[in-house]
Amino acid sequence: MSGRKGDSPTKLNVLLTNGRFPVTLDLARQLKLAGHRVYVVDPMHYHVCKFSTAVRKSYYVPAPHVDPAGYIRAVLHAIDDSHIDLVLPMHEEIFYLAESDEPKIQKRLFAPPFEVLLRLHNKWEFSQWLTAGGLDTPKAWLIRNMDDVRQLDSSKEYALKPVFGRSASKVFHLKPGKPLPDDCDVDEENHYIAQEWTYGERLCTYAVVRQGQIRASAIYPVQDTIDGSSSVYFKAVEHPRIQEYVERLIARLGEFTGQLAFDFITTADGRVLVIECNPRSTSGIHLFSRTPELAYMFGETSPTKPPVVARPGPKKQVAPAMLMVPLKSHPNVKQWIRHLFRLMSTRDVMFNARDLGPTLMQPFLLTSYYKICQEKGGMKLKDMFQWDVTWGPRGEDLRRIRERMERSNRELGGGEKVSDVAPNGYQSN
């Protein structure tokens, strides 16, 4: 880990926008190490942060996916009640908060304006924006219905996924000679993107950016996952070409402030491509575990310290999730033995001898989670864990979002957005 040790320049009351994810717990501990006071809000009664000594108070709040206005009111109450200085978005709550017109939230939210978030999160808009800036990304098509899918070149492979998707949910691998998926829910209110399938090594990046300057960054390969996408084992690597790409991309964002995470693929012929963006907290935060260095970057009012970079060294894992890695993700014995070695030899980000509550309460929490799954009609655990904090506009909300994006695209002009529209409205980049 690079960066200079020392006291954080400012001690803050920090509000994390959920308390359920391992990365939230890890960040709470890092913030405490930096001298900050940590609070969380969450629609779950019980979650890992509720039992952590790193968190001073947990607020039970309405689910933003179900009651956005109620969630905003609850966040405002937490801001007033705990004198919050900084709001750090952990998941898709960021969109509800950034869209709100509440000055107390806007002043404290560590995030860019809502229109910028939309451009980064919407996979089609992001792909268009990258292409306009000369940044390499797979060729893509906007898919509005199954007829658009049938118009794709059937001799090629594609990744088909919702433009507002997350965590490999509803991602289809289209292959030549194979039938089209019958459970693809693309329609006028749920557009998809088709990207040319690219083979290569998958890597992820995470960065904290303040006023266009990278203040913390990490690069790590995707190795062990529980859903084919979300990493549960973390090993920092150095990759100069990816670092250069990230710097070029962030330079195009101007005076951006917030968190940025990108999914990359590097190919055998030397291409470095960005697949998609998460403009919020991600598991890359684990690479700074047990240090205050990342937390210092959130607390600074102006950049004074050198940027912090996660260097190759100690590995990290989310041990409960590593135990859930499916056998099929390691198709041969050699790969499975490597997975078991990583499981047995890598430090767990959940366990902390000075903060045993989250570990000791795992059986109780797991029972609570499965009870919620039953109450939701047999919902899968990974879906239950996210559904109430996800963002997916529909109906009038979606119409308003699209109008805002169109207005933003017109205001940008000057080649910032590339769009070739065929007679039927079918678009590609």
Phi, psi of 192 (to 5 degrees): -115, 170
Tens of pLDDT, residue by residue over 75-102, are: 999 999 999 999 999 999 999 999 998 9
Residues of 154-193 as b/e, b for ≥16 C-beta within 10 angstroms? eeeebbbbbbbbbbeebbbebeeeeeeeeebebeeebbbb
Closest CA to 206 of 309, 59, 68, 84: 309
pLDDT of residue 305: 81
Name the nearest CA neighbour of 202 among 170, 247, 233: 233
| Two tokens, residue 74 | 């609850």
Distance of CA 36 to the CA centre of its chain: 23
Which amino acid does the sequence have at 67?
D
Q: Are 74 and 13 in contact (CB under 8 A)?
A: no
Q: What is the pLDDT of residue 131?
A: 95
8 Å CB contact between 215 and 307: yes
Are 188 and 144 in contact, with CB atoms under 8 Å apart?
A: yes
Residue 3 is predicted with a pLDDT of 41
Instruction: Please state whether beta strands 316-317 and 37-42 pair in parallel, antiparallel, or not at all (unpaired).
Output: unpaired
Which residues in the chain land under pLDDT 70?
Answer: 1-9, 167-168, 227-229, 302, 324-331, 345, 412-429
Q: What are the DSSP calls for 133-171, one per residue?
A: TT-----EEEE-SHHHHHTS-TTS-EEEEETT--TTTT-
Is 391 in contact with 98 (CB distance < 8 Å)?
A: no
Question: What burial letters (b/e) apply to 238-248, b meaning 16+ CB within 10 Å?
Answer: ebeebbebbee
What is the three-class DSSP state of 229? coil
Beta bridge partners of 348: 317
Does residue 125 contact residue 118 with C-beta atoms inside 8 Å?
Answer: yes
Percent over 90 (pLDDT), the chain: 71
